[in-house]
Structure 1
């Protein structure tokens, strides 16, 4: 049990509270805070969805008022994901966050690493106001939400800090905002720029979602709500058939290409299975990014708040708003009527799949799914399998565009990783592509990505280059601490092994570092 713990500020990340705690206690090792607060030596300092919160609550000083649910609801990003995920899965995630199953959280929520920021973000205006009010700045939840690029309070673009959003698997370092940000002049939004306004809408809705508790968007009928709104836009037929090409065109006209590229949400218009079309299909077990839902909701003319109300009205009008009843409590004639209607449909359309029946006879399917799901599961049509892929399915990706995007991302990320604070990170192909969130793609399709391969070959470090950079870092650390280290101390802090030091370039760099660490030119304390 610890003797004190900082009180969280409004909209502060739990990561930020722990970072302020670490800044005050000044433990000698980076992993000491993780071990003290979360009861593990090998845990990582997780920004968005931390686990082991049960241990943290038990460790807090006596008399505190915090619970695991309170920390999750007020100081993590789970409320942003909850409405777009089945309640049963959210309950599992809450259990994972309380216990030690942190590795399962991202898979359950369907989180796309490409949507999360590379670095912690902050609003320069917020930071200045917090320093005046509290004497220090802190990391906001809202500023780290995937897709949020602006501060909705001050209508300025967020700035990137020098603190990585995703640390290494075993990096337990908490870095407070005071150490990780450099306040500069804010970049204001242009009210006449459609992309800027789209960024602002995303930020406002993300802030609204973070303030909700136990909000559910009724995923079972969500596609039907989208279809109804698309019909109103003349982008779907009366029976729910999507006009794919007009929808692609209208969506790309509504959002500028650069805007979608910044969010990593471009449409692959050569495919009939891109993320926008998947949102309109009934797949209750498939979870899609909340950012995808927000983009479609805004395209359809709604905010999240107004869409929630629209969905309630739609649910009521479809007469499926009452809580599910058990089969035994239903009138037998009603139950038999729906069963016979479904059997008649499967007999009338024997060669169609479930998607056709669901789109064209959704009322019957929804009723049976809610009230007689076991029977429905046993009487679903046999799924047809496509043995020959269509030309559209064979050419889904423009590899030249993807190559140029990945090459630019690799180059930018390599610079950021090299200049990141703390112990240097070895710039290897694996480290860069994993942090970029494209490890599997680049590994499997490197032959189609010549620019990316070339950039990777230019930015990756050899063993010697990495060793020399660690030496420079260790030397600078000792300089800032006003310590003149012995040779063994320098090598120990740089974590250099004897066979590495024996390499001629490294050996020469060691001598240079020792010379640079001298207190004066006459007396060398390095041996």
Structure 2
């Protein structure tokens, strides 16, 4: 018996449920025939074993995969794992691993969803209510056709299928909001586009950042205005579901929800991509970001220009600070940055003193040493260093080179003093130097370290000495008894360690004695 003919937008999971109702055999027998395993579990939207199922249909495995499962959705948003997701021979466990479902922070309880209005229409048109594939999209809770919330049904245990597990048309439907219906329409349209699109070369994170930049969602430095974005996504998601869901943002400040999407470093759940794409294309406006920026990026330049003009006009730092609403430290930094002479009290840090401080800083002196030498605070030294062009980078370079020389010397000295040491000993006694050079100069470290030594086994027992000891005891027992003793009896006298039975190859002297004694006993018996 073949699987029932596919109905419009019917999932492969639904066809298997209808097959169980029509086959007349038990669930285990039907699953054994279809999937080759009577205890197999059938996923409601990531159906596996397509190669086996295609033998009971007129469609190809590609058609089953593309139009009757949600595998294309996961393969589209997880291109790195698309080969495993599109594998016709993949089992349910292989498919779940390929779709990274266990690694996502956001996950949804696995259920089957349906629209009561659609179920009633299906009963009138086809005589049976069935599971629609688009209704099973994770995070989607609205029907775009009837403007109603979807109803969830708990899956049967173990196999997730049953002959009576089909939508119930008698359930009362509830109307959903316009935004939820709009999101359902967008999601279903996106799924149809993905099904007909072969591959995508563009990186999603670049696409999202370009969309944000066009609508004012990025600063001049290229950073995301995350407060406005998190608030907007949360307010939209609150209208898309009749009940709380772990797939949605948890709060108005859930910045982690979309940060990984914008960085593009780790795989994310397809629903997060759908939600962010829907928000950026359908809900986002320029006002959202401009209303949340205080002050605008260009305002900083106005502050600097105004500060410079007031300082050049002869006002004191305190007066300029009150005028522009900034601190005296900010005004002092701007003055040093643009080399504007200011009336400082006390008049201790002169231009000549700044040059002397900069010279010592270039030579690598510590801030505390410079501050004690000139009798000023460490903060003043740091301010002069940070406002002198190129000085910070130069001091970082000097510190790095000094650290490298010191660590190289410590490694080189230890190897010279202990030429027979191994690499583990070098790492143990010069741990900080070893790891720093391993990170920053591994080529030099490899040249200086001792040649790696091959590991060799050291016996915990000296079997030569033990052989002599056992030989002496066995000789005494043989002499005292005057009769042949079995190996088992001798071993019990030695403590029952099994030395005379399992370790004979390590006791050559003792075994030679026993063999000689046994031969003598045999010759006496023959006589």
The two structures have a TM-score, normalised by structure 2, of: 0.49
Please say which structure displays the higher CA radius of gyration: 2
Q: Which has the higher contact order (CA 8 A, sep 6+)?
A: 1
